Structure 1
Amino acid sequence: MRQNISVEDALESILSQARPIAESESVPLSAAFQRVLAQDLPSRVFHPDADDSAVDGYAVRGEETITASVATPVRLEVVGEAPAGRPFAGEVQRGQAVAIYTGAPIPKGANAVVRVEDTVRDGSGVWLLKPASPADIRHRGDDLRQGEVYLHRGTWLNAARVALAAAMGYPSLPVVRRPRVGILSTGDEVVEPGQPLPYGGVYNSNSYALAGQVQEAGGEAVVLGKVPDSLEALGRSLAGVGLLDVLLTSGGVSMGKYDLVRQMLEKDGRIHFWKVKIQPGGPVLFAEYRGLPVLGLPGNPVSSMVVFHLFGRALLFKLLGRSDAPYAGIQATAATAFGANPSKRAYRRGILRWTPEGFTVETTGNQSSGVLRSMVEGNALVMLEPGESARVGDRVTVIPLGFTV
């Protein structure tokens, strides 16, 4: 068992053990949002499927409009119209124009469009006050070409990508099965919200925070409740968890007499590492229990959430085969000071903002791992290497947590 390892070594250990999920399923477009694409998607159509108008105006023969100006307008006879979805069936002859609307195919014979604001309608004709432009024609396949792949396997399907799949002609999409992630809290002191809180007790916030983080990362959260501080009870709970891809435990991984998750895994499982040189969340554990990957998180709520963001999120991305990174750092200017940890990489909660001068970040205040409120007030983690502090005005590396202003 490796102990007191770096963040990078911990990530390498976790990802080397993770095997991407092979199973996929087909879901309708309405259910594809925030799923992961299981196959490359070539477009089934051209878009647009014909040269069409990018503006409302008149489709004309461009060469007949070269001299058009406010001083010398050119008059053409309007012989029809072409709304989107109802193309003009005829052909534009010399001296003619067709009223056309955005998205409508360019009629045969026309090769340019003059915008409606550069015209004056006159009964059956129209005066052109400016030359028509071929630049206002969108050509066939400008957006999509039939057979070309625009969405690739491993793509996280946001709203724009689902819309693109729809535009390519897909009513349903092949997506990777969501990993089933069990969430188990431990500790005699943990009480479910709504129950009377005994002296020294704490409400179970970790299960619900982790469930949200799992779902946001693309997994299916299976909340298993909590078990008391008993090796027998813990063993019974794990024996009955059913089919899971990952197990997250909250609490029970430190060095105390009642940190039973670590003790049980030392006895009946295989621990890949225990303790990472980070603050908060140092006593994190990664193990295998009867073939099931187990990520043991600290019991303090902030530590639990930070560790999941750094390690659990990366694990789920690997299982899903996601092509995007689980998180990324950006540079920001410290608006307040941030203190160092002498021997561990520190992740300080901060409030990230965009200003006209660039990103700034300020502390949420109390950095205790028990202050869950800081994860609500903050939207970023300021990453400081061992012994590194930050003064006002220093440039720091920041990991956004669902950045909003």
Structure 2
Amino acid sequence: MRTNLSVEEALALVLAEARPYEKTEELPLREALHRVLAEDLSSLVDHPDQDDTAVDGYACRQEDTLLARPEAPVRLRVVGESPAGRPFLGQVGPKEAVAVYTGAPIPKGADAVIRVEDTRREGEEVLLLAPASPKDIRPKGDDLKRGEVYLKRGDLLTPARLGLAAAMGHPRLRVYRRPRVGILTTGDEVVEPGEPLPYGGVYNSNAYTLMGLVAEAGGEPVLLGKAPDDREALKERLKAEELDLLLTSGGVSMGEYDVVRRVLEEEGEVVFWKVRQQPGGPLLLARHRGVPVLGLPGNPVSSMVTFFLYGRPFLFALLGRTDPPYTRLRATALTPFKGAKGKKVFRRGILSFQEGLVVRTTGNQSSGVLRSMAVGNALVVLPEDQDKEAGQEVEVIPLTFVL
């Protein structure tokens, strides 16, 4: 077992546990939002499937319109119209025009479009106040070309990508199954919300914050309830489910009743324990019955921060996602941020934009102050042995993309 690792060393070992993931399913488009593609996706069609117009106006021959200007309009005979879905099937001849509407195919014989705002209609004729231009014609395949790959395996299906898959002609998509992530809270003092709170007890907030974080990262949270501070009871709970990742909360520190680490040492293999970071130093990585186990600290902030820094990247790597699990930015500190000796520190901050990115502290940085994660939207990263003063530039990791 390795111990006292740097953040970078610990993350590399966590990511090494993300073995190739082959669990897939096929879903209809309406059920595939926010899932991860399991195969490259190529277009089944050209889009547009022929030259079409990007504007409302009149399709005509450019050569007939070259001398058009407001004081000397060019007059063309309107021989038909071409709304989207009902193309004009005839041909445009000399001194003729067809009324076209955005998305409609360009009729045969036409090579230019004049915008409707540059025309004046007079009965069966249209007066052009400017020359027609081919620039408002979208060529066949301008957006999509049949057979070309536009979505990659590992792409998260955002609303725009889901629409792109539909535009390519795919009614169903092969996606990865959501990895099943067990969430097991430990501790005699932990009780469920709604139950009477005993003296010295705490409500089980970690299960629900982790449930949300797992779902947000693309996993399927499996709530395994609470295990008491008892080795045999914990061993029974660890047998409960078929999982792709197990998260335990609490029981990984150095106390007499921190039994998670001891059970995993007896029944599995502990890869590392303790990372030089704050909060979340007692983080543990193990394997139990072939399942990776992240032993998260019990303090609410430590539990959330360590999942965000290690559990979220693990799930992204497992799914082969093409987007990064989080983003690193630079911002100006509006308040001081205190570092720690020999540890990389992640302080909670409020990131905003005020003629540039700025960040201020959420206040009390104790790892038991869960409300700091509710009001904060970023982690301020401080290297070992470094404080930052107001006005200095700091590294920040947004917890949300809403500033």
Please indicate the TM-score interval, normalised by the length of the shorter structure: over 0.9
Deviation at 1:328, TM superposition (A): 2.1
| Alpha-carbon separation, structure 1, partners of 2:335 and 2:133 | 55
Alpha-carbon distance in structure 2 between the residues aligned to 1:344 and 1:179 = 32
Q: CA deviation at 1:17?
A: 2.1
Structure 2 gaps of 5+ residues are none
Matches within 5 A, 1:235-254: 235-239=235-239, 241-254=240-253
The 5 A counterparts of 1:354-393 are 354-355=353-354, 357-393=355-391
Pairwise CA distance, 1:177: 1.5
Match of 1:296 in 2: 295
User: 1:20, 1:317 → 2: CA distance?
Assistant: 12
CA RMSD in angstroms, aligned pairs only? 0.8
1:394 aligns with 2:395: no
Give per-residue Cα distances to partners, 1:169-201, cap 9 Å, x unaligned.
000100011110000000011010011111111
How far apart are residue 20 of structure 1 and its match?
A: 2.4
Matching of residues 75-154 of structure 1 within 5 Å: 75-154=75-154
Deviating above 3 A after TM superposition, structure 1's stretches of 4 or more consecutive aligned residues are none
Q: Deviations over 1:268-307 (max 9, x none)?
A: 2110000011110000000011211100000011100000
Alpha-carbon distance, 1:382 to partner: 0.5
| TM-fit CA distance, 1:24 | 1.0
Aligned to 2:334: 335
Which residue in 2 is equivalent to 1:310?
309
**Aligned counterparts of 1:358 and 1:156: Cα–Cα separation in 2:** 29
- Pair 1:266-2:265 in alignment: yes
Paired residue for 1:214? 214
* Separation in structure 1 between the aligned mates of residue 8 and residue 111 of structure 2, nearest angstrom: 59
How far residue 321 of structure 1 moved from its aligned partner, in angstroms, is: 1.4
Amino acid at match of 1:41: L
**C-alpha separation between the residues in 2 aligned to 1:60 and 1:335?**
61
CA distance in 2, matches of 1:342, 1:63: 77
1:327–1:399: 8 Å Cα contact kept in structure 2? yes
Distance 2:24 2:265 in 1: 35
TM-aligned CA deviation for residue 391 of structure 1? 1.4
In structure 1, the partner of 2:279 is 280
User: Does the 8 Å CA contact 1:114/1:128 hold for their aligned counterparts?
Assistant: yes
Aligned residues: 403
CA contact (8 A) 1:56 1:100 kept: yes
Q: Which amino acid is 1:280 matched to?
A: P
Indicate conservation of the 8 Å contact 1:60/1:96, yes or no. yes
SS of residue matched to 2:345: strand
Say whether 1:20 aligns with 2:41.
no
1:32–1:157: 8 Å Cα contact kept in structure 2?
yes
Counterpart of 2:155 in structure 1 is 155
Q: 1:380·1:403 contact (CA, 8 Å) conserved in 2?
A: no
Letter in 1 for 2:349: G
Q: How does 1:53-68 map to 2 (within 5 A)?
A: 53-68=53-68
TM-score normalised per structure 2: 0.99
Q: Secondary structure at the match of 1:236?
A: helix
Deviates more, 1:186-195 or 1:14-23: 14-23
Opposite residue 377 of structure 2, the aligned amino acid is N
3-state DSSP of counterpart to 2:308: helix
| Counterpart code for 2:226 | K
Secondary structure at the residue paired with 1:35?
coil
Whole-angstrom distance in 2 between the partners of 1:226 and 1:296: 14
Shift of 1:354: 1.9
After alignment, is 319-328 or 366-375 more displaced?
319-328
Give the letter aligned to residue 389 of structure 2: R
How far has the Cα of 1:341 moved from its partner?
A: 1.0
SS of equivalent to 1:340: coil
